[in-house]
Structure 1
Amino acid sequence: MKSVVKIMLIVIGTICVILGIAGIFLPLLPTTPFLLLAAFCYSRSSARFYHWLITNRWFGEYIRNYREGRGMPLKQKVIALSLLWLTMSYSIWFVVSQWWVQLILLGIAVSVTIHLVRMKTFRPEPQEAELPAEYSSSKEAD
């Protein structure tokens, strides 16, 4: 029975990864919830898939920061909000003609904006190797 549950979690996690990647390009699909759900499913079913997801070069750090409560870097917030409003505005004005669908899209955009703005902004700590030489030498003098 446990193997059936593991297989189902892997299948659900994989579907969520696919939907999360599609959400990068499609304005109505949210990326973050799908990737977080995939991380949850993989963490309960496959150490190999979970490791692949959280070490992935495109969204691994993003998932780790979000899950650990560190937030989202300011640059990613700005890009996400810009793309959100660009695609939603285009959809509202040029794609959808029903007023109630336009209102739903506007509500989604406002809700996602509120969520992203309220989310903690992650500021990575500078590493010693990346600091300029004058900073390192003045720190040693103190």
Structure 2
Amino acid sequence: MQKRIKHYLLFSCGWLCVVLGIIGALLPVVPTTPFMVLALACFAETSPRFHNMLLNNRWIGAPLKQWDQTKTVRRRTKIQAVIMLVIAFSFSITMLWGRTGMQLMVLGLAVIMIGFVLRLKEAEPKYED
């Protein structure tokens, strides 16, 4: 019984992450890749079909394959993620003008998330002669 509940929860979480990732692809403030990596992890446990579907997707398949195989990201991806986080959190902090406590809380969350992204291992650059 617990296995079935876990299966359905992970499967549902996977699809929720796919939907959030698609929204992230359309809205510049919401990141796409972290949601797709979470979806990939959820589907690895519950659905090989959807796991392979994400890995073979022409738009996001390459970075997901890289993450799935080596647990690394490209430097360019890390830089883009940090830039998007700075933009998104700057906007949020500006919208909370006058609420110092909330601004500090959002700033703390931004520092944690940026630190997490910066700690991800980078892929070795491929040099071709």
TM-score (norm 1): 0.69
Partner of 2:96: 96
Question: RMSD of the alignment, in Å?
Answer: 2.8
Distance verdict in 2 for CA 1:120–1:109, change over 3 Å? same
Partner of 1:22: 23
Partner of 1:120: 121
The C-alpha deviation readout for 1:8-28, integer Å capped at 9, x for no partner, is 54333111211233345375x
Q: Is this contact kept in 2: 1:23–1:30, CA < 8 A? A: yes
Distance verdict in 2 for CA 1:106–1:23, change over 3 Å? farther
Gaps of 5+ in 2: none
Gaps of 5+ in 1: 136-142
| Alpha-carbon shift at residue 92 of structure 1 (Å) | 0.8
Distance verdict in 2 for CA 1:26–1:47, change over 3 Å? same
The CA distance in 2 between the partners of 1:21 and 1:101, in whole Å, is 28
Partner of 1:49: 50
Same amino acid, percent of matched pairs: 33
The CA distance in 2 between the partners of 1:26 and 1:101, in whole Å, is 23
1:55 counterpart letter in structure 2: N
Distance verdict in 2 for CA 1:18–1:122, change over 3 Å? same
The C-alpha deviation readout for 1:102-134, integer Å capped at 9, x for no partner, is 1122112111211122211113424xxxx4xxx
Q: Is this contact kept in 2: 1:9–1:45, CA < 8 A? A: yes
The C-alpha deviation readout for 1:31-74, integer Å capped at 9, x for no partner, is 55532332122122222211111222232222232333442111
Larger Rg: 1
